[in-house]
Amino acid sequence: MKIGIIGIGTIGGIFLEKCLATSFIEKINIYDKENDKIQHYKNNRIKVCKFPCEVVEESENIILAVRPQDSMELFSEISKSDLSGKVIISTMSGVSIQVLRNSLGCSNILRIMPNVACSVGNGVIAADFSESFDENSKPELIQLISKLGKIFIMDERYFPALTSISGSGPAFIFVIIESFIDAGIKMGLSYDLAYSIVMEVFDGSVEMMRQSKKHPAELKNKATSPAGTTIEGIYTLENEGLRGTIMKTLIECYNKAKQFDSSLKGGIKLEE
């Protein structure tokens, strides 16, 4: 398999790392606007290309990992190449399969929405294939994408929800974890001790929920005794509106993602 990656930022860099660890990928062609910054990747498996169209022409599967704002400029460059027999894998938020098809004249399109936890192989990846996608090509691609984490195949109309929960969600979780650590420090624990304890608390709580498959409210009640410390804290959380704040935060992210989708609906039209 010959892979091309256009855009070596966070997600493109993760893909490059995973491709290098994949035995069935024989050649990786890469391009980034800041070409000087990717020259150190050059070796006998990686070719650093001078132009995006060079990546397209020398690759079977092309990963588009540029910013959505740069998509139209990229399309105008690579649509001059023959993409009819290629596979396009897009990580661009808000750029639909229809826009990709209209802009590039390619029928084999896999649109994915990965999150930052893909860097440790434990990410969440939403995926949708174009209707006319070659079925024989799917297993190998799924094998490649699964190296990033858990794949959820779904209609792309649900991607804004995934953008909110799995894309933005880790940032909110990091804020919550940070607040636990800071509380521990205020109570007299060292940063290292507070960090270690909080990480174990989060790991254990998630694993307990995963193994029991019970509703979180049921597990919450198991940890809550009458007139105890936990119910006092639960009362404070409810009184301060934590649950509503989290839901409102995620829904606002969802609305922003939908708004972003709407702003990128056009694409460029290929000449007949």
pLDDT for the residue numbered 269: 44
pLDDT beyond 50 at 201:
yes
Q: Decide: helix, strand or coil at residue 233.
A: helix
pLDDT for the residue numbered 84: 83
204 in a domain, yes or no? yes
- pLDDT tens figures, 121-157: 999 999 999 998 989 889 989 998 999 999 999 999 9
Q: Are residues 17 and 116 in the same domain?
A: yes
Q: Are residues 118 and 190 in the same domain?
A: no
Which long-range contacts does 255-259 make (Cβ < 8 Å, 24+ apart)?
A: 257/93, 257/94, 257/159, 257/160, 257/161, 257/163, 257/164, 257/167, 258/160
Last residue of a domain, one of 139, 158, 177: 158
- pLDDT tens figures, 62-94: 999 998 888 889 998 998 888 888 999 999 988
Last residue of a domain, one of 158, 180, 200: 158
Q: Are residues 236 and 109 in the same domain?
A: no
* 247 burial level (CB within 10 Å; 0-12, 13-18, 19+): exposed
CB of 68 within 8 A of CB of 45? no
Q: Are residues 135 and 216 in the same domain?
A: no
CB of 126 within 8 A of CB of 113? yes
pTM: 0.85
pLDDT for the residue numbered 264: 59
Within 79-128, residue ranges assigned H as helices are: 97-104
pLDDT above 90: percentage of residues in the chain: 72
267 in a domain, yes or no? no
Strands of 123-129's sheet in order across: 46-48, 27-31, 2-6, 61-64, 87-90, 108-113, 123-129, 149-153
Average pLDDT of the segment spanning 233-255:
96
145 in a domain, yes or no? yes
pLDDT beyond 60 at 22:
yes
Average pLDDT of the segment spanning 25-45:
90
Q: Are residues 132 and 154 in the same domain?
A: yes
Q: Which residues pair with 111 in a beta bridge?
A: 90, 128
> 200 lies in which domain range?
163-258
pLDDT for the residue numbered 43: 87
Q: Are residues 126 and 187 in the same domain?
A: no
Q: Are residues 185 and 243 in the same domain?
A: yes
pLDDT above 70: percentage of residues in the chain: 96
Q: Decide: helix, strand or coil at residue 108.
A: strand
Which CATH number is 126's domain given? 3.40.50.720
Q: Are residues 142 and 26 in the same domain?
A: yes
Q: Which residues contact 199 (CB under 8 A, 6 or more apart)?
A: 177
29 in a domain, yes or no? yes
Average pLDDT, the chain: 91
Q: Are residues 138 and 9 in the same domain?
A: yes
